[in-house]
Amino acid sequence: MLVLILTLTTVAIVVRIVSSPLSNVFQKQLTQRAAEPLFVSSATYGFLALLTITFWPDLNLSGLPADFWWAVLIFNSIGVLGNVLLIKAIRTGELSVLGPVNAYKSVVSILFGIVLLNEIPSWMGAFGVVLIIAGSYFVLGSGQKGGRFSFDILKKPEIQLRLIALVCSAIEAVFLKRAMLLSTPMTTFVLWCALGFLFSFGWVVLTLRSRWKEQIRVLSAQKGTYAALFISVGLMQFSTNTAFGGMQVGYVLALFQTSVLLNVLFGYQFFKEKNIVQKLIGAAIMVTGAVLIVVYK
């Protein structure tokens, strides 16, 4: 009998699985109420940066190598871009479809993990990733004619945005772990918040100068939803950093795919999305793949 031992990594993975689809729900609700994806992203980074101010005196940044700062620069710039593209995709796409598309991130991350971190997956772990990808075909085909997968779905703007966003996220994850190997999860999290805000705010200044007052009014009117988003994203990112510290990047991202079940259910519960049965079947196949990764990692 397999005995599951509750560890910090396990708790972090569970928190991440729940908080990620919740943050997607809040992001979609906000963009449906006139909030701009870029402003939503920048406001989230800004709030989290304010919360982490108290941790700055405890950070030891002077002795960190140049490789650390390069990793921080890369994961922040790529991460901000990926986050904005994700919110743009969520604004028009279905959560129960866009969530499963994220399954391909584990494959991209394993490839980058092999090249940059020298992490080699086991055969059963690799097979688990294959199952995760196979399950996503059921979900992607759920809205197509005859319920079958068609590559025409890849022509949809929201799917294209999601695919680009997941590649950005996969690259971000590899450099995020690289930075943590040279520092600590807390140091990396604080810099993720602070520099993420600087990068995204600079983007806001360049592209939303004429609309920032309008966006402030939306924030004021939707402050409850914004607060829920800030909390869920904060929990998501900190738990992500903690999980990366205890397990290989590709496997962690593959385990995160189990949140697809919640993506499907939340899509139905909050936005009345359809074809839930077929999507849940695909999600179950993906969860099976994740279990294989846990057992045979």
**Integer Cα distance of 276 and 183 in angstroms:** 43
297 has pLDDT over 80: no
Express each pLDDT in 204-221 by its tens digit: 999 998 888 999 999 999
Choose between 296 and 135: higher pLDDT: 135
Helical pair 8-31 and 223-244, crossing angle rounded to 10 deg: 150
> For residue 146, what pLDDT band results from cuts at 50, 70 and 90?
low
HSE-up (13 A, CA, CB side) for residue 297: 18
Angle at 90 between CA 204 and CA 196, to 5 degrees: 35
Q: Which of 99, 44, 69 shows the shortest CA–CA distance to 222?
A: 44
242 has pLDDT over 50: yes
> For residue 96, what pLDDT band results from cuts at 50, 70 and 90?
confident
Average pLDDT taken over every residue of the chain: 85
**Integer Cα distance of 92 and 151 in angstroms:** 19
Q: Token pair of 30, please?
A: 């906000």
Average pLDDT estimate for 143-155: 63
Which pLDDT score is estimated for 5? 38
4 has pLDDT over 50: no
Which pLDDT score is estimated for 144? 57
Q: Token pair of 210, please?
A: 């004429």
CB 90 within 8 A of CB 27: yes
Angle at 270 between CA 39 and CA 204, to 5 degrees: 5
Phi, psi of 132 (to 5 degrees): -60, -45
3 has pLDDT over 70: no
264 has pLDDT over 70: yes
Average pLDDT estimate for 118-133: 79
Which pLDDT score is estimated for 148? 60
24 has pLDDT over 90: yes
CB 138 within 8 A of CB 281: yes
Choose between 37 and 127: higher pLDDT: 37
- Identity of the highest mean pLDDT range in 131-135, 253-257, 275-279: 275-279
- Identity of the highest mean pLDDT range in 50-54, 55-59, 72-76, 211-215: 72-76
162 has pLDDT over 60: yes
HSE-up (13 A, CA, CB side) for residue 114: 9
Neighbours of 6 (CB within 10 A): 8
**Integer Cα distance of 251 and 121 in angstroms:** 8
Express each pLDDT in 174-207 by its tens digit: 898 899 999 988 899 999 999 999 999 999 999 9
**Integer Cα distance of 280 and 54 in angstroms:** 43
CB 289 within 8 A of CB 128: yes
Average pLDDT estimate for 81-110: 84
CB 110 within 8 A of CB 186: no
Which pLDDT score is estimated for 296? 65
Which pLDDT score is estimated for 98? 86
Name the amino acid, one letter, at 296. Answer: Y
Choose between 223 and 258: higher pLDDT: 223
Considering the entire predicted model, what is its pTM? 0.84
**Integer Cα distance of 245 and 178 in angstroms:** 10
| Contacts for 229-233: CB closer than 8 Å, 24+ residues apart | 229/23, 229/26, 229/27, 229/30, 229/40, 229/44, 230/43, 230/44, 230/47, 230/48, 232/19, 232/20, 232/22, 232/23, 232/26, 233/19, 233/23, 233/44, 233/48
Which pLDDT score is estimated for 278? 87
Which pLDDT score is estimated for 270? 94
1 has pLDDT over 60: no
